[in-house]
Chain A
Amino acid sequence: MSRGYLSRLRGLALPVAALLAAELAMLATGAQSDAFARPSEILRAMWAAALDGSLAAASAQTLGNALLGLAMGGGIGLACGLWFGAVPRVGRLSALTVNLLRPLPSVALVPIAMLAFGFGYRMESAVVAFTCIWPMLMFAQDGVARIEPRLLEVAQVLGLRGLRRAWKIVLPAALPRIFVGLRLSLGIALTIAVTTEIVANPMGLGYGLSMAQQSLNPALMLALVIWIGVLGWAVNAGLLRLQERLFGRRGARP
């Protein structure tokens, strides 16, 4: 028990030391910069943004867009992935199209979304949606392909076919892998949402970040960068916990 504690503390040692060093260095030299701020100032800016509700509002916007896009694109990807996995022939026929569309950098779609939807939540969630189709598709397809063949034989022997087999056997068996895909896709969704906001969309954390930089407010800017990192980490850690809860105990392999 103390072993884990110590290694956890040791992991924090470097960042804490770096922050202390930065704080002291900037205090000592009295340096002013458009890009850097003292850790204490960063903390103060974050606290202020939290208090006046702007941090929460921006976070809600970014998260909302990410989740909306994930639901739409991830849903399509999930359905297609399950289909391609369950009917390998369809998977093989669509492979060419999928492999041509997948490497398209989603950022390149921002101008198209701008053209179609203007600015706002529709444009951002559309870009997120396109991006999230592919990882969900791949993980769902892989999840189905990896199903224990014995279980499929049991289904055959019991006379389960088609949709009944999909609901009772295929989907639950593929679920652990699908969940991993969901976790990774959420991280991607957040990244794309923030990127879209920095580049074009005037809402959310990315936009706040961009504005802070343009108004020469390094403390707020860095505070938002750190906050975005914390948000991504927390979302991933939370889903990881959930994953272990759901799939760890019952012995279903993720």
Chain B
Amino acid sequence: MSAALAPPRLARRLGDAAGGLLVLLALVGAWAWASAAGWVSPIFLPSPQATWEALRHGLAEGDLAAASAATVERMIYGWVLASALGVAIGTLIGISPALRAWIQPTLEFIRPLPASAVMPVAIALLGLSPGMVLAVIAFGAIWPVLLSTVHGFASIDPRLHEVARVLGLSRRAFVAKIGLPHTLPDVITGMRLSLTIALVLAIVGEMLASQTGLGSAILMAARSFRAPELYAGVVLLGIIGLLSNVLLALAERMVRIHR
């Protein structure tokens, strides 16, 4: 009965996975062919082999490992800071309908502002320093977490508020026992977006402020026309983006399982 259903579905899953892999390999093959055939100049499209070689060499003997670590570190610090502040401020605004009414329109206006536009202001304020980059990352990455926290608190069923009043829960207890647990899935979703923004801003910050990291590494590689190293750095950034996304998506799914 159910065993009879299992093989077709499993077979299809495996077939899809294999097929997906084939598509990917075909694309890489097309890349190799394009660069070998000389359609695109090797100055801006190195072969996959050259990229792989630069990647291997850069990680083993060169600076790529250190640069990756620096970028990831910067991204995580900024992200953690942004998340903590976002939840804290979001909670303060979220539990008070009055505050929400006054502040929300302003928040909605700031939201679409590109975070990178704030970078020059931060440079003017704090100069070209690691602190500046961190501040910008935090400022840019705070919005998804802040807004989803506010939204989460705003969406608490009024019935739960009444329950809390009847039980005599203090404001703090309400937040800890009802508010935050209810808001957690929204917060995690917000944090996932924040991490993406944090990575982008870390790269931009490194490029502008010449801080150690993959951002400045690839910019320098471009300026010196060293395409394989440039592409190696881009691949690493892609991997960082992919891994952080996957890990957080997993966390999000685990949190939402209990809903």
Instruction: Report chain B residues within 8 Å CB of A152.
Output: none
Chain B, residue nearest A190 (CB): B114
Kindly list chain A residues whose C-beta atoms are within 8 Å of the C-beta of B234: 104, 108-109, 111-112
Q: Secondary structure at chain A's binding surface: helix, strand, loop or mixed?
A: helix
Interface residues of B in 212-248 (CB under 8 A from A): 214-215, 218-219, 221-222, 225, 227, 230-231, 233-234, 237-238, 241-242, 244-245
Contact B106 A218 (CB under 8 A): no
Query: Contacts A112-B44, A191-B116 given: A35-B218 contact, CB under 8 Å?
Result: no
- Docked-complex contact B116 and A194, CB < 8 angstroms: yes
Report whether A104 and B103 are in contact in the complex, using a CB–CB cutoff of 8 Å: no
A96 interfacial by beta-carbon distance below 8 Å? yes
Question: Can you name the residue of chain B whose Cβ is closest to the Cβ of A193?
Answer: B114
Please tell me if B254 contacts chain A, counting CB pairs below 8 Å: no
A159 within 8 A of B: no
Q: Count the B residues whose beta carbon is within 8 Å of the partner chain — how many?
A: 57
**Residue-by-residue, is A90-134 near B (CB-CB < 8 Å gives 1, otherwise 0)?**
001111110111011111111110111000000000000000000
Take A93-B16, A213-B120, A222-B121 as given contacts and tell me if A104 and B241 are in contact as well, using a CB distance cutoff of 8 Å: yes
- Cα of A107 to Cα of B214 in the assembled complex, Å: 11
- Among B23, B105, B114, B244, the residue within 8 A (CB) of A93 is B23
Verify if A61 is at the interface (C-beta below 8 Å from B).
no
Instruction: List residues of chain A with CB under 8 Å of any chain B CB.
Output: 7-8, 10-15, 34-35, 92-97, 99-101, 103-112, 114-116, 187, 190-191, 194-195, 198-200, 206, 209-210, 212-213, 216, 218, 221-222, 224-225, 228-229, 232-233, 236
Question: B residues touching A (Cβ–Cβ < 8 Å)?
Answer: 16-17, 19-24, 27, 43-45, 101-106, 109-110, 112-114, 116-121, 123-125, 196, 199-200, 203-204, 207-208, 214-215, 218-219, 221-222, 225, 227, 230-231, 233-234, 237-238, 241-242, 244-245
The 8 A-B residue pairs whose C-beta atoms are closest, nearest first, are A11-B105, A111-B222, A96-B20, A213-B120, A103-B241, A35-B124, A191-B114, A35-B125
